Amino acid sequence: MKFTDGFWLRRPGVTAAYAAEAYDIVADGDSLVVTAPTRPINERGNVLNLPVHTVTLTAAAEGVVKVRIEHHAGAHRSPGFEVAEERGHGTAEVTDAGGTLVSGALKAVVAQGAPWDISFWDGDTRLTGSGHKAVGHMTLGLESTVTAEPAGVMGVTETGLAESRTYVHEQLDLGVGELIYGLGERFGPFVKNGQTVDIWNADGGTSSEMAYKNIPFYLSSRGYGVFVNQPEHVSFEVGSEAVERVQFSVAGEALEYYVIAGPTPEDVMRRYTALTGRPPMVPAWSYGLWLSTSFTTDYDEATVNSFVDGMRERSIPLSVFHFDCFWMREFNWTDLEWDPRTFPDPEGMLQRMHDEKDLKVCVWINSYIGQRSALFAEGAEKGYLVKNVDGSVWQSDLWVAGMGLVDFTNPEATAWFQDKVRGLLRQGVDAIKTDFGERIPTDVVWHDGTDPHTMHNLYTQLYNKAVFDVLVEERGEGEAVLFARSSTAGGQQFPVHWGGDNTSTYPSMAETLRGGLGLAASGFGYWSHDIGGFEGTPDAGVFKRWVAFGLMSSHSRLHGSESYRVPWAFDDEAVAVTKRFAELKNTLMPYLYTAGAHAAATGVSVARPMFFEFPDDPAVAYLDRQFMLGSDILVAPVMSADGTVDFYLPTGTWTSLLTGERVEGGRWVRETHGFDSLPLYVREGAMIPRGARSDRPDYDFLDGLTLEVYSGGAEVDTTVEIVTADGERVQFGVRGSGNELALEGATEATVLVR
């Protein structure tokens, strides 16, 4: 949200009260409490009729400093997100020069007096800071609702105008060449500099500025992160209003944020996800290929069997079958009852899919309860649906006629919805697709009294947690899997997430990947997308290129809107391409599953931006058409009809995973690939564990294991740890050169030098 009119002036109707000096600094345990008046206090009379900010800095965890800015401390207080602070790591000290708070390698220094200045340091390196006119309390006058250029909030209010009269903002410095990443799964430019970003969940598709997963966290190329602990709407101006700063603002009288030390992206992710929650392990079977009925297509059990049998007849490995919306009767969404016209024997069908087809099953749900659903009357009677201010049930016709909304702030409503989901799991369903969760009204009353603006973004957290908890109860730790669209900070605890409604084009492939990279830079461990695109029907070329891309993602699903996504619906080559990459992914399971274990331990995603692995290489800073799959495999999806792809290889010798060809890095490469290929390069010094099975992802990774050593011709001295599908950790070491290689490990393996 923008408040200024250039460098000197403010927008019409905007009054600003900026922190002008640190008048008084008090050390309180592991905190500094700063009184920051909005003009310098040169005499006693200056203290009258004066807004003052109370700024409290606290060592929230090792390497993490929390900053809380309060104008009126008695005003409505945001609940914030659920965070796990670990106090006891900080020391605070006050001298004549100011206050210093140290937590691990991170140091915050508050300068005494004027001008206002807080600097954050990692050793001798200044990371960022809050300076002149950075901390501000902004009041919007009535003029702002009638002028041609109001202080507006795009995409949050129907009028485009700000709803609140008061806002608090902070501005943190941007260094020369500093780049900002993250802020959730966003489909525009990967680097956020120059953008205005509204943290406000919306159902806008991948071709818009809106996002399903808005995360008020950003990651800096200078080796630190910033997390704004506000579930409400947060507006970020990333070098787009004050071009030397990142500004973030919230409505009301207070703002809270954390500065998180690095220095590496992994260090920041580890500390950030220690605060907000880490992605758990997901089962090995979930990494395999998922096939969907698609959305508005016609299907029954016979149709489903024809798809499943068609995959088997063509020897295409399949792990999960997904039933989209119409497994329930139209207008009944969501009643969590199988449509008896098309699925008269759901329990028998699910048993047959398990026993005869060897498949897991996923079904679509959402938390919108259509008026025709039997659950609507039950939920309304018991007070389980969100209410209007007058006490009536809130309803809408946008999506399902007369739908209500489950109120997850009501523990009884949550238990009621969970019990319905539990019934599905006991029928034999294995995974749940939790769709929607973004269209949450702000003119309603919640059971626990939470402010509706707070609940708009926070709703998805309660929704996904409710379903995920049931999966954990019924299936056990490590076996629970969602396929979720919406999320917010902390949502990484309830995987897996997919990218939402894309289109069946090459540009949509690119925007989909940008969204995934942004989500990875926001603490999420796993990510998927609709292979081939959701809207429309892809031509055979787009489908085949997307299959290769999708099967080199952590999770892979064939899904569309109005047409089936079975490979033979396109051409024979699509069948061969799907088979090739599904089998390749299955052989990579020892590597991928171990990368998933790393995500669960550190918050670093399985598929990650290039700068995560090469933070000191400035050439990777803007790369958003390629990524690292795990720490050692570079993937550059082909997004052109003629198969041409440009990608960058960092310094070193790289070896094609598909052909064994060696290529020197430190340069851009242009290649042309057929549909059965794409650039997959392994970095020098890596050891890639490959499994013996290509027909399924869940198997004994150690049985027939091959260790592929990519030495670049040099002497080998490398180790690798493998996490097996049952959670065992096994280490292997390979030493020597040429044919004189020694294997160190608890079990046998074949060593192959590439």
* Of 520, 551, 546, 526, nearest in space to 534 by CA: 546
Q: State the Cα–Cα distance between residues 324 and 292, nearest whole angstrom.
A: 7
Integer angstrom CA distances of residue 34 from 75, 418, 520, 526: 19, 46, 35, 41
The DSSP letter of residue 97 is T
First to last CA, the chain: 53
Q: Give residue 207's identity as a one-letter amino acid code.
A: S
The DSSP letter of residue 657 is T
- Tell me whether strands 368-369 and 431-434 are parallel, antiparallel or unpaired: unpaired
For 523-545, give the DSSP string: T----B-EET-SBS---HHHHHH
Task: Pull the structure tokens for residue 445.
Answer: 């009353």
Whether 256 sits among the annotated catalytic residues: the reply is: no
* Residue 226 burial (C-beta neighbours within 10 Å; 0-12, 13-18, 19+): buried
* Of 596, 433, 436, 463, nearest in space to 526 by CA: 596
Whether 539 sits among the annotated catalytic residues: the reply is: no
Q: State the Cα–Cα distance between residues 233 and 235, nearest whole angstrom.
A: 7
Count CA atoms within 13 Å of residue 104 on its CB side: 18
**Which one from 198, 501, 511, 684 is the annotated catalytic residue?**
501
**Which one from 256, 435, 479, 684 is the annotated catalytic residue?**
435
Residue matched to tokens 């129907």: 158
Phi-psi region at 685: left, alpha or beta (left = phi > 0; alpha = psi -120 to 50):
left
Beta bridge partners of 706: 690, 750
- Tell me whether strands 118-122 and 98-103 are parallel, antiparallel or unpaired: unpaired
Q: State the Cα–Cα distance between residues 55 and 69, nearest whole angstrom.
A: 5
For 659-684, give the DSSP string: T--EEE-SEEEEEE--TT---EEEET
For 319-381, give the DSSP string: -EEEE-GGGSPTT--S-----TTT-S-HHHHHHHHHHTT--EEEEEE-SEE-TTSHHHHHHHH
* Residue 404 burial (C-beta neighbours within 10 Å; 0-12, 13-18, 19+): buried
SS3 744: strand
For 267-284, give the DSSP string: HHHHHHHHHH-PPPP--G
Q: State the Cα–Cα distance between residues 142 and 747, nearest whole angstrom.
A: 74
Whether 300 sits among the annotated catalytic residues: the reply is: no
Task: Pull the structure tokens for residue 40.
Answer: 């310098």
* Residue 381 burial (C-beta neighbours within 10 Å; 0-12, 13-18, 19+): exposed
**Which one from 30, 122, 337, 438 is the annotated catalytic residue?**
438
User: What does the radius of gyration of the chain's CA atoms come to, in whole angstroms?
Assistant: 27
Print the SS3 string covering 384-444.
Answer: CECEECCCCECCECCCCCCEEEECCCCHHHHHHHHHHHHHHHHHCCCEEEECCCCCCCCCE
SS3 705: coil
* Of 513, 334, 515, nearest in space to 435 by CA: 334
Contacts by 748-752 with C-beta closer than 8 Å and gap 24+? 748/705, 749/689, 749/702, 749/705, 749/706, 749/707, 750/704, 750/705, 750/706, 750/707, 751/706, 751/707, 751/709, 752/706, 752/707, 752/708, 752/709
Catalytic residues: 435, 438, 501
